[in-house]
Amino acid sequence: MPLPQTVNASGSRSCAERYARLASGDRTAGRIMTREVVALDGGFTVEQAVASLRERADAAPSQFYVYVVDAERRLAGVLSMRDLLLARTTTPLDKLMRRRVLSVPAEMDQEDVAKLMKRTRYSALPVVDARGSLVGVVAVDSVIDVMAEETTEDVHRIFGAGPDERLTSPWHLSVRLRIPWLLVNLTLAFAAASVIRLFEDTVAAWTVLAVYLPIVAGMGGNASAQAMAVAIRGIAVGEAARVPLRTVLVRELRAGSATGLVTGAIAGSAALLFHHEDRVLLAALVASSLFINHVVGPVWGASIPFVMARLGFDPAQSATIFTTTLTDMLGFLTLLGLAAAAMSLAGP
């Protein structure tokens, strides 16, 4: 007896090709899906289904699940290969299948698909059109490629490089992608340098402060960057949706206070050891500046990605430029400001 007709998503050209064109060049589920997926009619028995899958093994060699469609090719159910092999051969698929099927629309962003698969731990997800018709399937290996691609782009954005820049990119493309953020960085660097200009007399009177300026600013920048990295990851993997911003900032405030105490104590001890003139005051100023920068820096670093996301921007887009500049300005202001105040109180 001939086998009943098997429905193949790749064989339905009018539907699948339309969604392939829709996804072309876009970052959608339709772009990363494969149309080589075998779908079976719900009226098939298990015996007929197994025979049909064997016949079409070359069409979908890595199929993880068996998808069931109705007469109009709408996705009706799903069952695993294990369910199929362990069931009685005479059982109809529509009696065996699970009717609640998690599917994704062809227009869904590929990064959202990757997050969904990571959360559900499914090996594949069916892709449907606006009518609910099966047009393809996204497999886990495609999602791994997407996650690697998205991670690369986030790293590029964090440091102000274009997401499309590669080692093989033309040099003029790199210049065009990098120069806008470098100019922003240059402008902000002048703003940070202007803080030092406000305290020229203080630096001239106590030149050893110049030694500790980059230490205080750099340590604050590192603490801010650490908090920013955690925040960006939390937004990327969906953790941020479950954690209030206030909780995140309180956590960073506590962590920054603890790290500020440790680094401030070590840097203050170094000032006591290596300098002799006014070393107690210098040690207190360095320790206090580091503590303040470590308290404010992580809070600022964790806030920036959330603010950018709320404003509709990519949270990773050159956030380091803004966090580094602010912590530099804060480091200069705290160390030089506290020194100027101390010198003023000490008198001539």
Residue 162: inside a domain: no
Rounded to 5°, the CA angle 299-305-310 comes to 115
Calpha distance 83→96 (Å, rounded): 8
Predicted confidence at residue 253, as pLDDT, reads 95
Same domain, yes or no: 105 and 37: yes
Determine the pLDDT at residue 237: 65
> Within this chain, do residues 47 and 138 fall inside the same structural domain, yes or no?
yes
Residues 254 and 184 occupy one common structural domain? yes
CA–CA distance, 9 with 11 (Å, rounded to integer): 5
> Which of these three, 127, 155, 183, is where a domain ends?
155
109 with 183, same domain: the answer is no
Residue 102 lies in a domain: yes
Q: Is residue 2 part of a domain?
A: no
If asked whether residues 272 and 133 sit together in one domain, one would say: no
| 161 is a domain residue | no
**Euclidean distance between CA atoms 307 and 301, whole angstroms:** 10
Choose one of 126, 155, 184: the last residue of a domain: 155
Residue 339's nearest CA partner among 208, 191, 194 is 208
Token pair 């998808």 in the structure block, residue: 67
Q: What is the pLDDT of residue 19?
A: 47
| 267 in a structural domain | yes
CATH number at residue 19: 3.10.580.10
**Best CA proximity match to 215, nearest among 287, 157, 132, 167:** 287
Domain limits for position 123:
7-155
In angstroms, the first-to-last Cα distance of the chain is 109
Measured at the CA of 259, the angle between CA 258 and CA 263, to 5 degrees, comes to 125
Q: What is the CATH number of the domain that holds 336?
A: 1.10.357.20
CA Rg, the chain, in Å?
30
**pLDDT tens digit at each of 348 positions of the chain:** 333 444 444 444 444 454 444 444 467 888 888 887 778 888 889 898 888 888 876 665 556 788 899 888 889 999 888 888 888 889 989 888 888 888 899 888 887 888 788 788 888 888 998 888 898 888 877 777 666 566 555 544 555 555 556 667 788 887 887 788 778 778 888 888 888 889 989 999 899 999 999 999 889 888 988 898 888 778 766 677 788 888 999 999 999 999 999 999 999 999 999 887 788 999 999 999 999 999 999 998 888 888 877 777 666 655 667 777 788 889 999 999 999 999 888 765
The answer to whether residues 94 and 144 belong to one domain is yes
CA-CA distance, 37 to 61, in Å (whole number)?
A: 9
- Whether 255 is covered by a domain: the verdict is yes
Q: Looking at the structure, do residues 269 and 128 belong to the same domain, yes or no?
A: no
Is 165 domain-assigned? no
Q: Both 107 and 210 in a single domain?
A: no
State whether 94 and 223 are in the same domain: no
Residues 6+ apart with CB under 8 A from 284: 268
Angle between helices 279-310 and 245-274 (to 10 degrees): 160
**258 and 316 fall within a common domain:** yes
49 part of a folded domain: yes
Question: Edge-to-edge strand order for the sheet containing 75-80?
Answer: 7-8, 38-41, 65-69, 75-80
Q: Same domain for 82 and 187? A: no
DSSP-derived 3-state class of residue 1: coil
Please tell me whether residues 182 and 329 are part of one structural domain. Answer: yes
State the Cα–Cα distance between residues 308 and 296, nearest whole angstrom. 18
Number of domains in the chain: 2
Beta strands at 65-69 and 38-41: parallel, antiparallel or unpaired: parallel
Q: Which of 132, 75, 72 is nearest to 98 (CA)?
A: 75
Closest CA to 306 of 201, 235, 208: 235
Q: How far is CA 318 from CA 9, 146, 193, 295, 329, in A?
A: 42, 21, 20, 22, 18
pTM comes to: 0.57
